[in-house]
Amino acid sequence: MNSWYFSHLTLIQGMLISVPLALSVQIALRSGVFSFASIGFYGVGAYGTGILTMRGWPVLPAMLLMIVVSGLVAYLMSAPLIRLRGLYLGMVTFAFDLILTVVATNGGELTGGALGLLGVPLGIGTGGLLAAALVAILAVSQLERRAVGRALVGIKASEELVMSVGVDLKSRKRTVFAISAALGALSGSLYVLTFSTVQPTSAGFTLIITTLTMAVIGGTSSWIGAVIGTVIITWLPTLAATIGEYQHLVYGVVLVLVVMYAPEGVLGALRWLWRRLAPRLRPARPPALVPSGGPPPDRGAAARAEPVPADRVKG
């Protein structure tokens, strides 16, 4: 066990570092905010914390500063961004990530150019990574409960519904955007403090694909999905040694297949299984009484036309 732990330490650390990042994408997707901006803030966190600790800052203040600054910057940035719908927001935040890699490459001595930062003092142990991952999980899981959870799920069902029950939709979306960025920055900080180096490409296209795969493959409906996805994507390459080379191709294909055939991800599949099995484990109960209602009367196209942009509950 002990020797297994040490020979797999890098993977274990990588997995713990990825948890906040996968959560950052999951929480955005779950709230109907299709954003990759947290990957960019992963870079901000990694570079920022690296630069500060190399200049003698203590680890914790450096990390906290980068997390808070990322959250605030994201909150300010989000004002124009959240007006963008779906794919457009995705594309803009994607561009934001790529621009940041260019900035990092051309940042001169501060960012170390194409080579990036080298020799950042190691500042965190596996215990610290675990604690950080747990804090992230705790924070995100609280976003799924009670009033906050209902409102965020509601956003995805129908934005009009959520507004009509008194939720300040814009401010909710902006807050989610900020939380997502802060989680990204946390993950980046953990990375640089663990591996003592970061390159411009660290927060580039590859990371976007990997993280998106983690969030989507597990299922975006809950933090559990993000954790499942992180575990799978971390350990998959070691299980199938041959895919190493084609890793990202495989991720791409898996991503497409999941989105097409199992949009609820692994978590959704598990839930589905549970629903099938649970009745057999529970004592049988009578079928629910459904008062008769029948189908809605067909009133033609006019019946379906409601004078507001359609974002109806999907079946």
Partner 1 sequence: MSAVTGVPSLEVRDAAVNLGGVKALDGVSLTVQEGRLYGLAGPNGSGKSTLLAAISRLLDLTSGSILVGGADVMRRSPFEVARMGLARTFQTVRLMPQFSVLENAMLGADQPVYGSSFVRQWLMPWWTRSREASVRARAEAALERLHLMDLRDEPPLSLSYGVQRKVEIARALAAEPRLLLLDEPTAGMNRAERDEIGELLLRLRNEGVTQVLVEHDLKMMVDICDHLYVLDSGHLIASARPAECIREPKVVEAYLGRGRRAAA
Determine which residue in the list 43, 45, 71, 154 makes contact with partner 1, applying CB under 8 A. Answer: 154
Position 64 contacts partner 1 (CB under 8 A): no
- The SS3 call for residue 84 is coil
Nearer to ligand ATP, 293 or 296 (CB): 296
Tell me which DSSP letter residue 313 carries: P
Report the site for partner 1 in 249-268 (rule: CB under 8 A). Answer: none
Give the Cα separation of 248 and 36 in Å (integer).
17
Q: Is 307 in the site for ligand ATP (CB under 6 A)?
A: yes
Which residue, 104 or 162, has its beta carbon nearer to partner 1? 162
Q: Does 288 bind partner 1 (CB under 8 A)?
A: yes
Look-up: residue for tokens 């999941």? 258
> Which window, 2-10, 48-56, 86-94, 291-299, contacts partner 1 (CB under 8 A)?
291-299
Residue 296 found at the interface with ligand ATP (CB under 6 A): no
- Considering only residues 39, 151, 185, 224, which one is a binding residue for partner 1 as defined by CB under 8 A? 151
Contact 209, 251 (CB under 8 A): yes
Task: Kindly tell me which residue out of 242, 278, 283, 306 binds partner 1, with binding defined by CB under 8 A.
Answer: 306
CB 183 within 8 A of CB 27: yes
CB 148 within 8 A of CB 5: no
Whether residue 233 contacts residue 251, with contact meaning beta carbons closer than 8 Å, is answered with yes
Q: How far apart are CA 221 and CA 13, in angstroms?
A: 25
Region from 13-21, 45-53, 166-174, 253-261 binding partner 1, contact rule CB under 8 A:
166-174
- Return the number of the residue (85 or 150) whose C-beta is nearest ligand ATP: 85
Per the structure block, which two tokens stand in for 60? 């914790």
- b vs e for 88-111, b when ≥16 Cβ sit within 10 Å of the residue's Cβ? ebbebbbebbbebbeebbebeeeb
The set of residues, in sequence order, having a beta carbon less than 8 Å from that of 32 and lying 6+ positions away, is 155, 156, 159, 173
CB atoms near residue 159 (< 10 Å): 17
Part of the chain binding ligand ATP (CB under 6 A), chosen from 14-22, 42-50, 182-190, 305-313: 305-313
| Closer by beta carbon to partner 1, 1 or else 289 | 289
- By beta-carbon proximity to ligand ATP, the closer residue of 284 and 305 is 305
Output the smallest distance, CB 223 to partner 1, in A: 14
150 binds, among ligand ATP, partner 1, none (CB under 5 to 8 A by kind): partner 1
Considering only 12, 73, 161, 254, the residue that binds partner 1 (CB under 8 A) is: 161
Nearest distance from C-beta of residue 267 to partner 1, angstroms = 12
Q: Residue-wise over 286-310: b if at least 16 C-beta within 10 A, else e? A: eeeeeeeeeeeeeeeeeeeeeeeee
Residues engaged in binding ligand ATP (CB under 6 A)? 302-303, 305-307
Residues engaged in binding partner 1 (CB under 8 A)? 139, 142-143, 145-148, 150-151, 153-154, 157-158, 160-161, 163-172, 175, 221, 288-297, 299-300, 302-308, 312-315
